[in-house]
Copies of this chain bind each other. A is one copy, B any other.
Amino acid sequence: MDDVRLARAYLSRVAEPPAVALGLLVENVGPVQAAELVRSRQAPTPVHDETSARASQDLAAEDLTKAADLGVRLVIPEDPEWPAWPLLSLDNGRRRGLRWAAPPLALWVRGPAQIDDAMRRAVAIVGARAATSYGERTAAEFAFELAGQSVTVVSGAAFGIDGAAHRGALAAEGPTVAVLACGVDVSYPAAHTTLLDRIARDGAVISEYPPGTAPAKYRFLVRNRLIAAMPGGTVVVEAGVRSGARNTASSAAALGKPVLAVPGPVTSEMSRGCHDLIRAGTAGIVTSVPDILEAVGVIGELAAPVTGPTRPTDDLGPQAIRVHDALSRKTPRGPEHLSHASGVPLDRVRSLLPELELTGLARQTDEGWLSMSH
């Protein structure tokens, strides 16, 4: 175990994320010296405030050993696997004064997926815990389709939309990553123990909290910034008026990431947050996976343009349409009748009828002209 990894493991337990001052100290003096300053209580006051409560507790070596036993590794910025590019949006956000956007000091990872690879083509699917069956079905279907196209589905492993998204990706045997607000060895919610195990088997369960950390309310909000920051964009499937999903959406928008929201019935409380996001312009509307791929800019998979069914009369001019409408399928009609019924001058009617015949929309009989369309 090298000094750098030990230092980051120590700091990851000592400071409650997002520890802005500590992060800047680490960037300035490096993790080993920063850890030394914290441990010896010689860090500058802002860092001291972030670390004094737990500074004396150095469990780094123990944490790393225990993690290894659990199949958990600590990924640090000094590792090739570190998702530097995906996390750049946090760096930039912090630089613009968003204190909550402080990047993580390290990430605890359970599962074989390489985080940098997994986040190269990734979309967050988030939403309400108290989701409706409509929301869960939509989340699962979007995730299934995305994962089938090798796009990593990132979510928070909560009940409702999160769980449906992970399950959809797993059903497609595609990549999925859960970002937790507790240790990666903590099964929260307990009913998702099996789901978390399945995610960790081929994908990854990740957290900036050391193993054993219990979930806490504010940790969910802090965790949300990682879900918002790492993927190429965020899709909110259902969200109440107040919800964590809206927090993730605002964070993603603040970080400059595309945010999309799924519409639903106006009568559904669970779609209200989505409609609000669309109305406010925070989110674009999304109804299908091609919409998502286009918004997050996944290259080479742009949606085919959606067009309505074509009709044989599509290419007709306005007068020809009027003459055609005046035709009957059963009663043959003469040009004079058609001119009067359509208001199109008689000589125009006489020249339009052969055109309609050429395109198969009319037929001349001995008694007059018939419509040939359905």
Contacts and interface: CB of A to CB of B under 8 A. Distances in A.
Interface string A247-272: 00000000000000011111100011
A326 B266 CA distance: 38
Q: Report, nearest first, the 9 A-B pairs whose CB atoms are least far apart.
A: A16-B343, A263-B263, A242-B308, A241-B308, A266-B287, A53-B339, A52-B345, A217-B325, A216-B325
A278 B278 contact: yes
A314 to B, nearest CB: 10
Contacts of A308: 240-242
Interface of A: 15-16, 48-50, 52-54, 57, 134, 138, 216-218, 240-242, 262-267, 271-272, 275-276, 278-279, 284-288, 291, 306-309, 318, 321-322, 325-326, 339-346, 348-349
Contact of A53 (B216, B291, B343): B343
A50 B218 CA distance: 71
14 contacts: A15-B343, A16-B342, A49-B348, A53-B340, A53-B342, A53-B346, A54-B340, A54-B343, A217-B325, A241-B307, A241-B309, A263-B264, A266-B287, A272-B287
Contacts of A343: 15-16, 50, 53-54
Given A134-B265, A218-B325, A263-B264, 4 more contacts: A50-B343, A216-B341, A241-B308, A263-B285
Nearest to A264: B265
Nearest to A275: B287
Contacts of A276: 306
Contacts of A339: 53
| Copies of the polypeptide in the assembly | 2
B218 A321 contact: yes
Contact of A345 (B53, B240, B341): B53
A55 to B, nearest CB: 10
Given A321-B217, A325-B216, A344 B53 contact: yes
A160 to B, nearest CB: 17
Contacts of A262: 266
A285 to B, nearest CB: 5
A264 B266 CA distance: 7
A46 to B, nearest CB: 11
Contacts of A15: 343
A266 to B, nearest CB: 4
Contacts of A342: 16, 53, 216
A34 to B, nearest CB: 16
A52 B350 CA distance: 14
Contacts of A275: 263, 285, 287
